[in-house]
Amino acid sequence: MINKMRDLAPTLMIIVLVAFIATIFLDWGMNVSGLSPKARAAGKIDGKEVPLSYFDQQVIAERQRIQEDRRDASPMELKRVPQDVWEREVNRILMTRVIQQMKLGASADQVFEYIKRNPLPGVDTASLFQTNGVFDTSKYVDFLSDPDMYQHNPWLNYISDRAEKDIIPAQTLEILLSANTNPSRSEIEHQYRLEKEKLVFEYATVNTSKIGIDSSKINEQAVKNLYNQKKDSLKTDEKAQVYFFKFPKIATAYDEQVYYQEMIDFKNQIVSADNQVEEFTRLAKTLSDDPSAQNNGGDLGWFGRGAMVPEFETVAFSLDSGKISDPVKSQFGYHLIMVEGKTTKDGKEQVKARHILRKITPTIETVDMVAAEADSVREMILDKGFAETVKNIKNVQLDSTGFFAKGEMIPGVGYLSGAGQFIFGAENDKSVVSERLENDDAIYLLVVKGKSKKGVMPFEMAKDSLRNVLIDSLTKVAAREYMEKTLKTLSSDASLADLKEADSNLISGVTDTISCAQYIPGVGYNSKVAVAAHALPIGKISPVIEQDKSYYLVKPLWKDTIDSIPWDSNEITLTRERLKSQMTHRAYFDWYTAYKNDVKITSNVNDIYLD
């Protein structure tokens, strides 16, 4: 028993470590400053409150997972995590309710089969289950069949419980929902023909950017009339627009020298090591700014000339095998290059190398200088006011945004921690200017320009988008009329592909040999245009065809049709399975959407996680 536990130690340590990290973040790292003081719950789903402490634990764990998977996870990706976790929680609670209502469960045999077929990550590499260095399924099955293992391995009980109560019942539900999703014979034939039958056709469409519209119809009164027609659909959340002062974080010559010296220190450390390759790999995994280095230790493999940027290539090919370069500057930053091998293949020189990359970013000293400049402007705003400050400052970037909703990215700024609290937090309504806020690119000062309350969007906020709606509508009408007139001028044997030569307002051409199901340059993917061309006799020009916001004429030149369907072939089997999978997913999505819409769901996530 002790030996088995020892063999499983790496896998168990992963599970324990994840739980420990989550606990640390929950107990010590919860971002209390980012939470609304009035919020007691993340929200309510079908009358069931989602406790804030539990929800924040899930958010922290998910952000931790993303950052462990990718060092370069963007701030915006991390910002989306609370909403993603909320949707996942909604799904979990609703699915649990459905499973309970339908009394779906799983037998012991089903649970055993599930765990057998879906081993946890790390189990397949545990020495306990290895034979000659390869995962041995029979050893794993013997392990699962031993009742004592469930007493000494809590993770087995956890997985068994989840399989019994959640995973297998959810799979059963999907099977029930897909019971009537078998594609018909005609549906299979239709899809098969779309994919396999080939054609070539000419097409012509109007270039909407060139045709004129009656601009007199796009006036203030027309926009107001449209606003009144659509008023009920123009409801919006609370929105704001802001002025922002931007103080960019730009690396200086001093910063560049700091990184150069750092790379020299790395080189000296590597050269003095007993095993230079091992030390180089270790530093690459822990310190390189190349995201892939965390996994491959900076290994670039074999490459020839032209594969790398010129600065890198010149040094890599000039070094002898086993040598390490001085710092090499490229558009990406400074590189240390270790050449591990050189060869000639097909008469062309190749190099095997690994590298450490350090991006040249502003140092703390430089950022402190930028922060001091921002603080100086902030003090001036507090002392003299916004308008007077704008008159007196020079060489400071000042811009403003359009209206944006709480939780949305700030136009022209992006993600900015603390901005949501300043702009939308009730306690900050009277603040003249924000504290100094920053992201990776710059330091910002924000001044609220205006706000709109939750409800029907004010006309001033909506008018620009409504004006575009009017323009699109008039353009669409003009495009159809233009193509109808064009059609009337054509003889039956006219070439559509040549129309662009006589009329610069038209876009025309001829396709390659294509199927209706594939992407067609100039036309689109799986389009009504291609289907219409396929249905026409060879040489016949179509009526005007509407697709999205465009109008087309088509003329088939050649078709290769299928006389009979090979019903017993593997291709038909694959088509049937693919259609069934699509229909199953669509059935599940439609069912879940309808079910979710019938449930009262209240979310506080955007209020809690303003930033």
- Summarised one tens digit per residue, pLDDT across range 229-268 is 998 888 888 888 999 999 999 999 999 999 999 999 999 9
Domain that holds residue 244: 235-250+364-455
Q: Residue 9: pLDDT band by 50, 70, 90 thresholds? A: very low
Give the E-state strand segments of 28-186 in sequence order: 41-45, 48-51, 130-131, 134-135
Range 535-543 average pLDDT: 96
Same-domain status, 166 and 43: yes
The mean predicted confidence, pLDDT, of the chain is 86
Question: What is the total count of domains within the chain?
Answer: 4
Q: Residue 447: its pLDDT value, please?
A: 94
pLDDT at residue 485 above 90? yes
Same-domain status, 118 and 205: no
Element (H, E) at 301: strand 299-304
Same-domain status, 46 and 168: yes
**Angle in degrees, CA 102, 103, 105, rounded to 5:** 125
Q: Residue 31: pLDDT band by 50, 70, 90 thresholds? A: very low
pLDDT at residue 136 above 70? yes
Q: Considering only CA atoms, which of 344, 447, 431 is closest in space to residue 386?
A: 447
Same-domain status, 34 and 165: yes
272 domain-assigned: yes
Cα separation, 93 vs 47, in Å, equals: 11
pLDDT at residue 204 above 90? yes
Cα separation, 74 vs 68, in Å, equals: 13
Q: Residue 20: its pLDDT value, please?
A: 34
Q: Residue 574: its pLDDT value, please?
A: 95
Same-domain status, 386 and 468: no
Instruction: Check if the beta carbon of residue 538 is closer than 8 Å to that of residue 556.
Output: yes
Helix 168-177 crosses helix 108-117 at what angle (to 10 degrees)? Answer: 100
Same-domain status, 55 and 170: yes
Cα separation, 393 vs 582, in Å, equals: 60
569 domain-assigned: no
Q: Residue 607: pLDDT band by 50, 70, 90 thresholds? A: confident
Same-domain status, 377 and 241: yes
Q: Residue 390: its pLDDT value, please?
A: 93
579 domain-assigned: no
574 domain-assigned: no
Residue 355 has what DSSP assignment? E
153 domain-assigned: yes
The dihedral of CA 171, 177, 180, 186: what is its sign? negative
Q: Residue 71: pLDDT band by 50, 70, 90 thresholds? A: low
114 domain-assigned: yes
User: Lowest-confidence range among 75-84, 138-147, 424-433?
Assistant: 424-433
Same-domain status, 170 and 30: yes
Q: Residue 89: its pLDDT value, please?
A: 94
Instruction: Check if the beta carbon of residue 537 is closer than 8 Å to that of residue 558.
Output: no
Whichever domain contains 474, its CATH number is 3.10.50
More confident residue, 152 or 48: 48
- Summarised one tens digit per residue, pLDDT across range 331-368 is 999 999 999 999 998 889 999 999 999 999 999 999 99
Cα separation, 94 vs 457, in Å, equals: 32
Choose the final residue of a domain: 341, 358, 375.
Answer: 358
553 domain-assigned: yes
pLDDT at residue 6 above 70? no
480 domain-assigned: yes
Q: Distance between alpha carbon 18 and the CA centroid of its chain, in Å?
A: 25
Whichever domain contains 342, its CATH number is 3.10.50.40
Give the pairing of strands 506-510 and 455-456: unpaired
Residue 294 backbone phi and psi in degrees, to 5: -60, -30
pLDDT at residue 452 above 60? yes
Same-domain status, 109 and 162: yes
Q: Considering only CA atoms, which of 607, 589, 606, 604 is closest in space to residue 41?
A: 604
Does the pTM surpass 0.75? The reply is: no
Q: Residue 361: its pLDDT value, please?
A: 92
Q: Residue 430: its pLDDT value, please?
A: 54
Choose the final residue of a domain: 306, 330, 358.
Answer: 358
Same-domain status, 7 and 154: yes
Range 543-568 average pLDDT: 93
Same-domain status, 159 and 16: yes
Q: Residue 425: pLDDT band by 50, 70, 90 thresholds? A: confident
Query: CA-CA distances (angstroms) from residue 401 to 245, 410, 418?
Result: 11, 7, 17
Q: Residue 19: its pLDDT value, please?
A: 38
Choose the final residue of a domain: 425, 440, 455.
Answer: 455
Q: Considering only CA atoms, which of 208, 216, 213, 218 is closest in space to residue 468?
A: 218
Q: Residue 189: pLDDT band by 50, 70, 90 thresholds? A: very high
Q: Considering only CA atoms, which of 344, 85, 371 is closest in space to residue 379?
A: 371
Same-domain status, 18 and 113: yes
Q: Residue 611: pLDDT band by 50, 70, 90 thresholds? A: low
